[in-house]
Amino acid sequence: MRFFALITILAIFGCSDNTRNGSLSTSPTNEDLMTPPVKDIHSYAEPSQAIMQHLVWQAEVNFDSSRITAKASIQVAMDPKAEFVMLDTKNLIIDSVSTGTAGNESATDFSMGKPDDLLGSALKISLSPDTEWIHVYYRTTEGAEALQWLNPQQTAGKQQPFLFTQSQAILARSWIPLQDSPGIRFTYEATVKVPNQLLALMSAENPQQKNEQGIYHFKMEQPIPAYLMALAVGDIKFQSLGPRSGVYAEEGLIEKAAYEFGELEDMISIAEELYGPYQWDRYDLIVLPPSFPFGGMENPRLTFATPTILAGDRSLTSLVAHELAHSWSGNLVTNATWEDFWLNEGFTVYFEHRIMEALSGKDYSEMLALLSLQDLRAEVEEMVQQKNAGDTHLKLDLKNRNPDDGMTSIAYDKGYYFLRWLEERSGRVIWDQFLVNYFEENAFRSMSTEQFLHYLKKNLIEKQHINIYLDELEEWIYQSGLPDNLPVPVSSKFELVDAALNSWANNGTLPDSELWSTHEWLHFIRKLPKDLDSASVTALDASYDFTHSGNAEIQAAWFEKAISYNYRPAYPAMAEFLKRVGRRKFLTPLYKALVRTESGKEFALEVYKEARPNYHFVSANSIDDILNYE
Ligand code: BES
Ligand code: ZN
C-alpha cells in the first residue's frame, strides 16, 4: 500500500557536532536520522491514520447567497487498523457524510470537534477496514475566510460579480473539507457550476472560454498540498502569450495585461535552463480585481495576480518571475510545515532574482537585491525593538500562532541572503547543479528545515568539499538578527541615485524625471530625508507627481513618506488608493504610519470604515489589529 511507502523515516541533520572544529565529513549517526514524521501544528489531520490522495469536488457557486454548495469525495489511503480519518474544516456546514463508491454510498458516523478561532474544527469520520472513499456534503458560510465575493462595482467591468479564493496558509479548510497541511499532497478533479455568463478557473487544467451551461471541468494530475487549491469565477477573457502560457483578465484589462506579461515565455525558458524542466504543463496568469490581498499567489498552472503590477512598462514583472519560481520552490518542493516557510519564500526570492538577472542583467537584479536588503534590515530592527527577536529566526516557532505571522521579510529576504551566501561560498556552478538536483530529487515532496540541512550537508558540503561550518548554518537558521557575513550587493545604479539625492540636498537640483526606472525611484523615495520642510515636499511632488503616479509601488512608497511629512495634498489620493486596493503589503505600512499620530488615526479610521468591505479577510484581519478595530 502506498501509505506505508509514504511514512518514510525522515532524516534530519545531526546537531550534536555544531562547533567549528566539529567535523562535517562524518555522516550523521543513526540516532540523528531517526526522528518521527514532521508534525504540523496547524492541522487536525492525523496522517499516521489516514491520508487523502485524491479529491473529486462537485460544486455549485451561488452569488445570490454568497455560498458554495458542494460534495467533496475524498479517496483515502489508510493504516489497516485506522478507525477514523481527520479532516480540517472551518465554518463549514456539514450536511452529511457517507462512504463507498459512487452510486453505492452509505451514511457513516462523523463528529465535529470544538471550533478553534484559528484552526477551525476537526471533522472526524469513522472508517471501516475497506473504506476507500468518503463523501462530504456541505455548504460554505459567511465565515469562509478564503473566499472573497465581489459585487459588480468592485470589478473593472462593473457588470458582473466575481469570486476568488486565497487558501494559503490555512484557509482552504474554509471552503473545502480536507487535510489542510502542506506535508499532505493529493490530485484532484472538479466540476463547478456557475452562473452561465461567467467563467470558472482553478489551479488545474483550465478552460479558455465560457460555455452556455456554465459548467466547467477541471483536472490536476500532479499532487498538490491543500493551500494550492484555488478557484476564480468572473466575467473573464483569455489571451494567449505563447505556446504554453497565457493571461486571463476582465475584458477591459486584457490588452494591458498581455503587454505587461510579454516576457513570460522567456521567463519560463530561463527558469528551466536554471533549475530543470517546468513540471506543470501550462503556466497561465489571472489578473484579479484590486482587492486581491497579495501581489501574487502561485496557484499551480494559474498564478493569481494583483492588477497593481500593471504599470504599463513591465517594470513590476519580477513579481511574475517570483510566482513562476514557486513552480519549483514551493509547489514542487514544499515547506513541510509553516514553521519552514522560508524554504518556500527564501528559495523563491533567490530564484526570482536569478530569473531577473538572466532576463534584464545583473545591474537590474542587484537593485532588487538591495531593495530586499532594505526591507530586511528594517524588519529586523522593528522585531528587535518590539522584543520579537525570535521571529528573526529562519526556522519559526508558530505554536498557538497564526502562520500568517511568519509572512515577514525574514522568510523572504533573510532566506534569500542565506541562499546567496551559500552560492558565494560554493561557487555558482556547483551551487546551481546542487539546486537542479535538489528540485529533481525532492519533486512533489515536502521538506522541513532539518531535512534541508541534512540534504545540504550531504550533497553540497561533503560531496563538493565546501568550506562551510555547522555553526555558520546554525546561526543563519536558528539565531536572531543577521550574520556579520551577510552578502552586501553593490548597485552602481543606486549609487547614482544616492549621488542625485546628495546634489539635491546640496544645491537644490532635482534629477531629470525621465532618467530612472521604477526601482531607482523607489530607492530615491525610500532614501528621502526623515525631515523635509513642506516647500521641498511640495517641490518634489510638483516635479514628479508621485501622488498620482500610475505605478502603485511608487504611490505606496510615496504615501508612506507623505504621512511622515504630514503632506496633506497627498491625502485624497491616498484615501482613494486605500479604498480601491486591498493588497496587504501596501495597506499595512500605510495604516501603521497613520496611527502614529492622533489626526492620522482619525483619518485612518474614517477611510477604513469605507474601505474595509472591499478587503479580503486576510487584509481586514491585519488592519483590524493595527487599528484596534472591532
Ligand atoms: N505565496 C505568497 C503569498 C502568500 C504567502 C500568501 C503566505 C499567503 C500566505 C506569494 O508567492 C508571495 O510571496 N507574494 C508576494 C510577491 C512578492 C514577494 C514578489 C506578494 O504578494 O507581495
Ligand atoms: Zn512567494
- Minimum-distance ligand 1 atom for the alpha carbon of 293: 21
pLDDT in tens, 402-412: 999 999 999 99
What 3-state DSSP class applies to 231?
Answer: strand
Catalytic center residues: 323, 412
Q: Quick one: what percent of the chain has pLDDT higher than 90? A: 93
How confident is the model over 352-372, as a mean pLDDT? Answer: 98
Could you give the CA distance from residue 503 to residue 288 in angstroms, rounded to a whole number?
42
pLDDT in tens, 206-253: 999 999 999 999 999 999 999 999 999 999 999 999 999 999 999 999
* Mean pLDDT, rounded, of the chain: 94
What 3-state DSSP class applies to 21?
Answer: coil
Between the CA of residue 256 and those of 240, 301, 390, what are the distances in Å? 13, 21, 43
- Minimum-distance ligand 1 atom for the alpha carbon of 352: 19
Q: Whose CA is nearest to atom 2 of ligand 1?
A: 297
Query: Among residues 56, 120, 137, which one has the least CA distance to residue 86?
Result: 120
- Predicted pLDDT of residue 488: 93
Residue among 294, 318, 349, 365 to mutate when testing ligand 1 (max atoms within 8 A of CB):
294
Amino acid present at 165: T
Please report which confidence band the pLDDT of residue 22 belongs to, taking 50, 70 and 90 as the band edges: very low
CB 355 less than 6 A from any atom of ligand 1:
no
Q: Identify the DSSP state of 370.
A: H
For ligand 1, the distance from its centroid to the CA atom of residue 295, given in whole angstroms, is: 6
What 3-state DSSP class applies to 543?
Answer: helix
CB 353 less than 6 A from any atom of ligand 1:
no
CB 295 less than 6 A from any atom of ligand 1:
yes
Quick check: 307 and 253 in contact, CB under 8 A?
Answer: yes
Could you give the CA distance from residue 508 to residue 108 in angstroms, rounded to a whole number?
78
- Predicted pLDDT of residue 39: 83
Q: Which helix (H) or strand (E) holds 284?
A: strand 283-287
Model confidence at 11: pLDDT above 70: no
pTM of this structure: 0.95
Q: Quick one: what percent of the chain has pLDDT higher than 70? A: 94
- Minimum-distance ligand 1 atom for the alpha carbon of 306: 21
Q: Residue 72 CA to chain centroid, in angstroms?
A: 25
- Minimum-distance ligand 1 atom for the alpha carbon of 345: 13
Which triple of cell numbers denotes residue 285? 496568469
Which triple of cell numbers denotes residue 132? 476507500
User: Of the ranges 10-14, 153-157, 271-275, 299-303, which one carries the lowest mean pLDDT score?
Assistant: 10-14
Residue carrying the nine cell digits 532576463 = 359
Please report which confidence band the pLDDT of residue 37 belongs to, taking 50, 70 and 90 as the band edges: low
Neighbours of 79 (CB within 10 A): 18
CB 319 less than 6 A from any atom of ligand 1:
yes
Please report which confidence band the pLDDT of residue 329 belongs to, taking 50, 70 and 90 as the band edges: very high
499-528 b/e (C-beta count within 10 Å ≥ 16 → b): ebbeebeeeeeebeeeebebbbbbbbbbeb
Q: Whose CA is nearest to atom 10 of ligand 1?
A: 297
Could you give the CA distance from residue 438 to residue 451 in angstroms, rounded to a whole number?
12
DSSP string, 453-512: HHHHIIIIIITTT----HHHHHHHHHSSS--TT------HHHHHHHHHHHHHHHH-PPPP
Residue among 297, 407, 618 to mutate when testing ligand 1 (max atoms within 8 A of CB):
297
